[in-house]
Copies of this chain bind each other. A is one copy, B any other.
Amino acid sequence: MPRFPEIADAASATRGAVYSTVAARLAAHSGERYPLHIGDTWMEPPAGCRMEDLHVAEYPGMHRYAPVAGLPTLLEAIAARVSARSGQATAVDELLITSGATGALAAAVTAIAGPGDEVLILAPYWPLIEGIVHQRLAIPVPVPAFAGEVADAEALIAALEARLSPRSVAVYLNTPNNPTGRVLPRAWVEAVAAWARSRGLWILADEVYEDYIYAGEHVYTRPLAPERTLAAHSFSKAYGMAGNRCGYLIGPAEVIVHARKAAAHTFYSTPTAAQIAAERVLAGPGDAWVRDARARYQALGEAAAARLGVPAPAGSTFLFLDVAEHLDERGLGGLLERCADRGLLIAPGPSFGPYPTHVRLCFTSAPPEVVERGVEILAAILGR
């Protein structure tokens, strides 16, 4: 039967914004605001790689469509870079340039999961992965692991095994981890890859913070199981270009074909100017910009962690705090409202998995002095 005015199941299954009540409180606040709930950076992208640097005289037709797969010159630059960095030889047909890593993971999930399929999601996780799975009418199965639930690779695999079902099709992992700031040890990533292979699962590897590691090393998942890994990367996080919407997906060529169709039928192509900016950043000032940003981010993370009395993050741009002891009868919503009353926005734990008493704070989403004042407010509210 026609379903007007009802909406589709995939739409109703997907959660929307969680900020409505907090937004009202924030609107009543007239002072400075501290938007530490978003994963972003206050830094402008490198000079020479900004929109103002992209001239029609140099790039005629730069406002026209790019090919769905991406600009050939950018594809070649990324293939060379991925081959060198990850140690896994990567061809152009194993790449898809996408509307950020969100576009990469949405296209990847479309290619491999459908109604009723289960995707095991190591938690805490990047919030949108849950909704991306819901959009396919598939079922996200959180596997709590990185907030202290598992102590070693063996326990990690036991947690996955306990949630495996005949409907499982994939396992998602996110390292450096948003929201915890953890960098997964090599043994853990190797164990997940080997287990996924033994169980016939796809692997979704979200590695958008690969450049922001302050302790330990980034372990690329794809070289460990290239036949089944779909890895998402981002110019947004690496170079302060989130508004450009440019990331990429790497995977087996025979899956990328299908991910490319998903991309063509959702955002069509990645913005042409964003791809030119990405080419320029790879060819020019990108590495130096990252070195500078990494040093600044590390100092900010350490300062915020010290003020809040939690361990410094090993990677990413986030702190994830258990605030259970500071909740009153209004629960986490009450705490978020108390923060919003003073202009501070932080993200609620349930966005990242079964974490009803946690909050996430991004220590790079505003200029350092603004972050510092926001952290002071949170410290005061938490009595630290």
Chain A residues with a Cβ under 8 A of chain B: 1-5, 7-12, 14-17, 38, 40-42, 44-45, 50-56, 60-66, 68, 99-100, 102-103, 106, 110-115, 117, 128, 131-132, 134-137, 166, 168-169, 199-202, 227-228, 240-245, 252, 254-255, 257-262, 264-274
- Are B5 and A227 neighbours in the complex by a CB distance under 8 Å? yes
CB-CB < 8 A to A5: which residues of B? 227-228, 252, 254
- Complex partner residue of A2 from B15, B201, B244, CB under 8 angstroms: B201
Kindly provide the distance from the CB of A60 to the nearest chain B CB, expressed in whole angstroms. Answer: 8
- Complex partner residue of A65 from B38, B44, B137, CB under 8 angstroms: B38
- Are A63 and B242 neighbours in the complex by a CB distance under 8 Å? yes
- Are B268 and A128 neighbours in the complex by a CB distance under 8 Å? yes
- Are B137 and A8 neighbours in the complex by a CB distance under 8 Å? no
- Are B258 and A169 neighbours in the complex by a CB distance under 8 Å? no
- Are A56 and B38 neighbours in the complex by a CB distance under 8 Å? no
- Are A266 and B8 neighbours in the complex by a CB distance under 8 Å? no
CB-CB < 8 A to A202: which residues of B? 4
Kindly provide the distance from the CB of A18 to the nearest chain B CB, expressed in whole angstroms. Answer: 12
Kindly provide the distance from the CB of A368 to the nearest chain B CB, expressed in whole angstroms. Answer: 15
- 28 example contacts (A-B, Cβ-Cβ < 8 A) are as follows A3-B112, A4-B169, A8-B111, A8-B114, A8-B136, A12-B258, A14-B258, A14-B265, A16-B260, A40-B64, A44-B60, A44-B61, A45-B63, A51-B54, A51-B62, A52-B53, A52-B55, A62-B243, A63-B242, A102-B267, A102-B268, A128-B264, A135-B261, A243-B269, A245-B245, A245-B268, A245-B269, A271-B271
A258: nearest chain-B partner, CB-CB: B11
- Are A132 and B265 neighbours in the complex by a CB distance under 8 Å? yes
CB-CB < 8 A to A15: which residues of B? 261
- Are A111 and B4 neighbours in the complex by a CB distance under 8 Å? no
Q: Give the number of times this chain occurs in the complex, counting copies.
A: 2
CB-CB < 8 A to A100: which residues of B? 267-268
- Are B66 and A7 neighbours in the complex by a CB distance under 8 Å? no
Contacts A102-B266, A102-B267, A103-B266 aside, 17 further interface pairs with beta carbons under 8 A come to A4-B169, A5-B252, A5-B254, A8-B114, A9-B114, A10-B114, A14-B258, A50-B63, A51-B54, A52-B52, A64-B243, A106-B266, A115-B115, A128-B265, A244-B273, A266-B267, A271-B273
CB-CB < 8 A to A55: which residues of B? 52
- Are A4 and B242 neighbours in the complex by a CB distance under 8 Å? no
- Are B269 and A266 neighbours in the complex by a CB distance under 8 Å? no
- Are A99 and B102 neighbours in the complex by a CB distance under 8 Å? no
How far apart are the CA atoms of A110 and B3 in the complex, in Å?
13
- Are B168 and A257 neighbours in the complex by a CB distance under 8 Å? no
- Are B268 and A266 neighbours in the complex by a CB distance under 8 Å? no
CB-CB < 8 A to A106: which residues of B? 265-267
How far apart are the CA atoms of A54 and B50 in the complex, in Å?
9
CB-CB < 8 A to A117: which residues of B? 3, 8
Known: A3-B112, A51-B273, A56-B50. A267 touches B243 (CB 8 A): no
Kindly provide the distance from the CB of A243 to the nearest chain B CB, expressed in whole angstroms. Answer: 3
- Are B4 and A200 neighbours in the complex by a CB distance under 8 Å? yes
Known: A112-B7, A113-B8, A273-B273. A166 touches B1 (CB 8 A): yes
